[in-house]
Structure 1
């Protein structure tokens, strides 16, 4: 995995396969809490992230709120799981987050 700039990363397919291969192992690295705006699901907050975890290596920070992946809103655990499973087939992934109240996009180029 290479960091291209502050918000862009390059990953090889083997890394993506490793990250998406065991969702249970991946999820032990961070606590994910539903996030709501106006009583509607608006994403998931990353909390209790382990230092050096895959999430940290991918540029996420504790407190980040993941709202969309490839323009698909994360409104349910089922949707999050489906998106996670489909990542292995993507060549480019964008993740829209809220970080300290500001919108930001993390981009991953998969080669």
Structure 2
């Protein structure tokens, strides 16, 4: 059994897995619930909950209750910003995802092959 993915780890991601997941957006969105997260009345990322075991999102190391706050230092405030995140996943060779987990800032690094 492999060790659980923890924030700070570097996760190797298959580019074809990303592209395959995006081909069926309805199925992809059925694997997780994503909502805007607000702190002190201001948008402060996206909350991810109801992550299904074995889903694309769990394979990315995300956990229920994580707040996705940025990608490569760019703040994520709306679902539209996720499109930018997808572009980075699709085109880049590596990406750093900034999250808040259990009230602690964490970074999950991804490398694409």
Q: What TM-score, normalized by structure 1, do the two folds share?
A: 0.86
- Secondary structure of the equivalent of 1:109? strand
Contact 1:96–1:105 (Cα < 8 Å) also in 2: yes
Count of equivalent residues: 109
Gaps of 5+ in 2: none
Distance 1:26 1:36 in 2: 24
Once the two structures are TM-superposed, the CA of residue 25 in structure 1 deviates from its matched residue by: 2.2
Contact 1:43–1:68 (Cα < 8 Å) also in 2: yes
Indicate the structure with greater strand content.
Answer: 1
Structure 1 moving runs of 4+ over 2 Å = 19-25
Provide the alpha-carbon RMSD of the alignment. 1.9
* 2:97 alignment counterpart: 95
1:81-111: CA deviation from partner (whole Å, max 9, x where unpaired) = 2322442001001100000001100000112
- Secondary structure of the equivalent of 2:54? coil
Gaps of 5+ in 1: none
Once the two structures are TM-superposed, the CA of residue 57 in structure 1 deviates from its matched residue by: 1.2
